[in-house]
Amino acid sequence: MHITDAERKIMECLWQSHPATSTELAERLENATGWRQGTVKALLNRLLNKGAIEAERVGRGYRYSPGVSREDCVSEASQRFLARWFDGRLAPLVAHLSDHRKINPQELEEIKALIKELEDEC
Amino acid sequence: MHITDAERKIMECLWQSHPATSTELAERLENATGWRQGTVKALLNRLLNKGAIEAERVGRGYRYSPGVSREDCVSEASQRFLARWFDGRLAPLVAHLSDHRKINPQELEEIKALIKELEDEC
DNA sequence: ATTATATGATTACAGCGGTAAACGCAAGAG
DNA sequence: CTCTTGCGTTTACCGCTGTAATCATATAAT
């Protein structure tokens, strides 16, 4: 399942807090996107059709909830990205970013800590 | 500058070896993509228009070369990807992949080595 | 010089993505 | 009961992407 960029903004909202009505979502997104209600609703329908969200009828309207986890989406996107540019591997990305000074010392520390954890638990 | 997926395949060819004629490129891509010559040529023109490649007239045809480096494209794509999903930071990606067992031991070693290098040279 | 061939340029077209207007219906206001 | 208003559904439209056919032209072969 491929989530587009506009759809992703809706999903982020839902992952953050759900269920939510289309009106609530439109309000929450208004600021960041400037989208009209109709836009939000159209995107919700596309997400429904591809099974990325679920809708539960409540009175006059619906409550929407994510149908896929953010974790899963992130995994898919990461695999796609790494496959495209780095032969599917993480190390070359780290190498690239470090070559281009795109990693600051704090991040470096974080990653080092992560790796230590990984080693310990293995 | 945004390189689309089909365009990227052309670029990969050119980055790998250039300059190259459209015919050479079509031959090299034939296997991987099944594209006709016309398809390759159309993509080359789009890339020319957006300044991603350069063309040098030679006799009847052109020799094409990259106008942007792979490094730069990779940087852009990486920043975009990390911004979308990980607040622009690398550490959370590493954390995610490790949580989901998407890093094999060999990669872990590679990354560890990279980090050690980085530390040493600082 | 005429014909065939290779190369490039133009045009096409369907599908997807972003954005939204238009239309219809239900629920509350008077 | 009628009118307005909010929500949902349908339809629209443009630009981009992937893919290619078609047209034009220059070079090569006869």
Mean pLDDT of chain A: 91
What is the distance between the alpha carbons of residues A84 and B12, in angstroms, rounded to a whole number? 10
Average pLDDT rounded to a whole number, residues B66-79? 95
What is the distance between the alpha carbons of residues A83 and A69, in angstroms, rounded to a whole number? 21
Minimum-distance nucleotide, CA of A55 to C1': D8
pLDDT band at A104 (very low <50, low <70, confident <90, very high): confident
Cβ proximity of B20 and B64 under 8 Å = yes
Domain assignment present for B79? no
Spatial neighbors of B21 by CB under 8 A, at least 6 apart, are B61, B62, B63, B64
Q: Show the domain range for B17.
A: 5-66
pLDDT single digits (tens) A22-66: 999 999 998 899 999 999 999 999 999 999 999 998 888 899 999
C-alpha distance from B12 to closest chain A C-alpha (Å): 10
Which residues numbered 63-122 in chain B sit less than 7 A from strand C, measured from CB?
Answer: none
**The two structure tokens encoding residue B86:** 């990980």
> Residue B114: which of A5, A75, A94 has the nearest Cβ?
A94
Same domain, A60 and A12: yes
Q: How many Å from the CA of A62 to C1' of C26?
A: 14
Rounded percentage of chain A residues whose pLDDT exceeds 90: 70
Among candidate residues B51, B66, B81, the one where a domain is terminated: B66
pLDDT single digits (tens) B19-55: 999 999 999 999 999 999 999 999 999 999 999 999 9
Q: What's the confidence (pLDDT) of residue A108?
A: 86
Domain assignment present for B19? yes
- ipTM score for this prediction: 0.86
Cβ proximity of B73 and B3 under 8 Å = yes
Same domain, B14 and B59: yes
Burial class (CB in 10 A: 0-12, 13-18, 19+), B76: middle
Cβ proximity of A10 and A44 under 8 Å = yes
Count of structural domains within chain A: 2
Same domain, A62 and A94: no
**The two structure tokens encoding residue B51:** 């300044």
DSSP string, A75-106: HHHHHHHHHHHHTT-SHHHHHHHHHTT-S-HH
Q: What's the confidence (pLDDT) of residue B109?
A: 87
pLDDT single digits (tens) A73-95: 999 999 999 999 999 999 999 99
Cβ-based contacts of B118 with chain A (< 8 Å):
98, 103, 108
CB atoms within 10 A of CB A90: 22
DSSP string, B56-111: EEETTEEEEEESS-HHHHHHHHHHHHHHHHHTT-SHHHHHHHHHTT-S-HHHHHHH
Domain assignment present for A76? no
> Residue B81: which of A81, A89, A111 has the nearest Cβ?
A81
Judged by CB atoms closer than 8 Å, whether chains meet at A102 and B79 is answered as: yes
Burial class (CB in 10 A: 0-12, 13-18, 19+), B31: exposed
Phi, psi values for residue B6, rounded to 5°: -65, -45
Q: Work out if A42's Cβ lies within 7 angstroms of strand D.
A: yes
Cβ proximity of B35 and B29 under 8 Å = yes
Same domain, B62 and B98: no
What is the distance between the alpha carbons of residues A30 and A43, in angstroms, rounded to a whole number? 14
C-alpha distance from A71 to closest chain B C-alpha (Å): 8
